[in-house]
Amino acid sequence: MTANLGFVKPTRRTGELGVHSLDHFHFVVPDLAPAKTFYGEFGLEVGERGSNLTLATEGGPHVWGTIGEGPRKKHQYISFGAFEDDLDRFAERLQTLGVRRVDPPAGVDTNGLWLHDHDGNLVEIAVAPKTSPSEKSRFVQASAGPLERGAPSRSAVKRTRPRRLAHVLMFTTDVMKAIDFYSRVLGMRLSDHSGDGIAFMHGIHGSDHHMLALGKSNAPGFHHLSWDVGSVDEIGVGAMHMLSKGYDKGWGLGRHVLGSNFFHYVQDPWGSFAEYSADIDFVPHDADWPAADHPPEDSFYVWGPNPPADFIHNYEA
Residue with the CB atom nearest Fe ion in the bound state:
226
CA distance 261 to 259: 6
Q: Which is nearer to Fe ion, 68 or 215 (CB)?
A: 215
Strand partners, 244: none
Binding mask 168-207 for Fe ion (x = CB under 5 A): ----------------------------------------
What distances in angstroms separate CA 304 from CA 230, 246, 257, 262, one per listed residue?
A: 19, 21, 11, 10
Sign of the CA dihedral 284, 227, 307, 154? positive
Total residues contacting Fe ion (rule CB under 5 A)? Answer: 2
275 binds Fe ion (CB under 5 A): yes
Helix, strand, or coil (residue 92): helix
208 binds Fe ion (CB under 5 A): no
- Please compute, for residue 70, the number of CA atoms within 13 A of its CA located in the half-sphere on the CB side: 14
CB of 195 to Fe ion, least distance (A): 19
Q: Which is nearer to Fe ion, 82 or 225 (CB)?
A: 225
Q: Which is nearer to Fe ion, 21 or 226 (CB)?
A: 226
Binding mask 227-246 for Fe ion (x = CB under 5 A): --------------------
Q: Is the peptide bond before 253 cis (omega within 30 degrees of 0)?
A: yes
Q: Which is nearer to Fe ion, 234 or 275 (CB)?
A: 275
226 binds Fe ion (CB under 5 A): yes
Q: Which is nearer to Fe ion, 66 or 272 (CB)?
A: 272
Q: Which is nearer to Fe ion, 121 or 226 (CB)?
A: 226
Q: Which residues of 148-165 are buried (b: 16+ CB within 10 A; e: fewer)?
A: eeeeeeeeeeeebbbbbb
Note whether 87 and 125 are within 8 A (CB): yes
CB of 306 to Fe ion, least distance (A): 17
CB of 277 to Fe ion, least distance (A): 6
Span interacting with Fe ion, options 86-94, 232-240, 273-281, 289-297, rule CB under 5 A: 273-281
Contacts of 116 (CB under 8 A, 6+ apart): 100, 102, 122, 123
CB of 21 to Fe ion, least distance (A): 16
Which residues sit at the interface with Fe ion, rule CB under 5 A? 226, 275
